[in-house]
Amino acid sequence: MHKLSEKIKLKYLIIGIITLAFLLSIASSLFSIYQRSVTLLEEQSLDKNRVYAQKLSQIVDLYLDETIQVLGYSASKIADQMDNEELLNEEVNRLQTQQNAFNSVIIADPNGLMLEGAPEKYALKGKRITSKEGLSQLENQKITISDPFRASTGKLLITVSYPIFSSDGQYKGAINGSVYIHESNFFEKVLGEHQYQDGSYVYVVDSKGRIIYHYERSRLGMDVSENKVIQRINKGESGAQLVINKFNEEMLAGFSPLEKTNWGVIVQTPRKNAIDSVGQQVLTTFYFELPLLLISIIIVLGLAAKITKPLQQIAVITENSVK
Tell me, what CATH number does 207's domain have?
3.30.450.20
What is the four-CA torsion angle of 230, 234, 239, 243, rounded to 10 degrees? -20
- How many structural domains comprise the chain? 2
Q: How far apart are CA 68 and CA 161, in angstroms?
A: 8
Q: What local confidence, expressed as pLDDT, does residue 206 receive?
A: 92
Mean pLDDT of 56-75: 92
Q: 179: which residues sit within 8 A by CB, 6+ positions away?
A: 101, 102, 103, 157, 158, 159, 160, 185, 186, 187
Range of the domain at 250: 41-61+186-272
- Which of 180, 198, 218 is a domain's end point? 180
* Domain match, 214 and 248 both: yes
* Domain match, 206 and 196 both: yes
Decide which of 81 and 9 is more confident.
Answer: 81
- In the chain, where does DSSP find H-type helix? 2-78, 85-98, 132-140, 186-191, 228-234, 271-274, 278-322
Q: At 251, is the secondary structure helix, strand, or coil?
A: strand
- Answer whether 239's CB lies under 8 Å from 52's CB: no
* Domain match, 191 and 119 both: no
Residue 282 inside a domain? The answer is no
Residue 310 inside a domain? The answer is no
* Domain match, 74 and 155 both: yes
* Domain match, 48 and 69 both: no
Mean pLDDT of 44-49: 92
Q: At 192, is the secondary structure helix, strand, or coil?
A: coil
In a 10 Å sphere around its CB, with 0-12 CB exposed, 13-18 middle and 19+ buried, how is residue 280 labelled?
exposed
Residue 248 inside a domain? The answer is yes
- Answer whether 210's CB lies under 8 Å from 221's CB: yes
- Answer whether 250's CB lies under 8 Å from 244's CB: yes
Q: 318: which residues sit within 8 A by CB, 6+ positions away?
A: none
Judged against a pLDDT cut of 90, whether residue 246 lies above it is answered with no
- Which of 149, 180, 211 is a domain's end point? 180
* Domain match, 160 and 68 both: yes
Q: What local confidence, expressed as pLDDT, does residue 70 receive?
A: 93
Q: What local confidence, expressed as pLDDT, does residue 125 receive?
A: 93
Decide which of 194 and 218 is more confident.
Answer: 218
Taking Cα atoms as reference points, which of 234, 258, 231, 235 lies closest to residue 243?
231
Sign, CA dihedral 142-106-112-264, equals: negative
Q: What local confidence, expressed as pLDDT, does residue 1 receive?
A: 46
Q: What local confidence, expressed as pLDDT, does residue 265 receive?
A: 95
Residue 89 inside a domain? The answer is yes
Taking Cα atoms as reference points, which of 245, 252, 267 lies closest to residue 191?
267
* Domain match, 164 and 241 both: no
- Which of 155, 180, 205 is a domain's end point? 180
* Domain match, 244 and 263 both: yes
* Domain match, 82 and 170 both: yes
Judged against a pLDDT cut of 80, whether residue 7 lies above it is answered with no
Best mean pLDDT range from 185-199, 207-221, 307-321: 207-221
* Domain match, 45 and 125 both: no
Q: How does pLDDT run across 105-132, given as a tens digit for each residue?
A: 999 999 999 999 999 988 999 999 988 8
Phi, psi of 226 (to 5 degrees): -80, -10
Decide which of 62 and 182 is more confident.
Answer: 62
In a 10 Å sphere around its CB, with 0-12 CB exposed, 13-18 middle and 19+ buried, how is residue 34 labelled?
middle
Residue 307 inside a domain? The answer is no
* Domain match, 208 and 255 both: yes
Written as one letter, the residue type at 65 is D
Judged against a pLDDT cut of 80, whether residue 303 lies above it is answered with no
Q: Treating both helix axes as pointing N-terminal to C-terminal, what angle do 278-322 and 2-78 enclose, rounded to 10 degrees?
A: 160
Residue 13 inside a domain? The answer is no
Residue 51 inside a domain? The answer is yes
Q: What local confidence, expressed as pLDDT, does residue 155 receive?
A: 78
Best mean pLDDT range from 108-117, 177-186, 295-304, 311-320: 108-117
pLDDT-based confidence at residue 16 (cuts at 50, 70, 90): confident
Mean pLDDT of 10-23: 71
* Domain match, 45 and 190 both: yes
Mean pLDDT computed over every residue of the chain: 83
Q: How far apart are CA 261 and CA 300, in angstroms?
A: 67
Residue 288 inside a domain? The answer is no
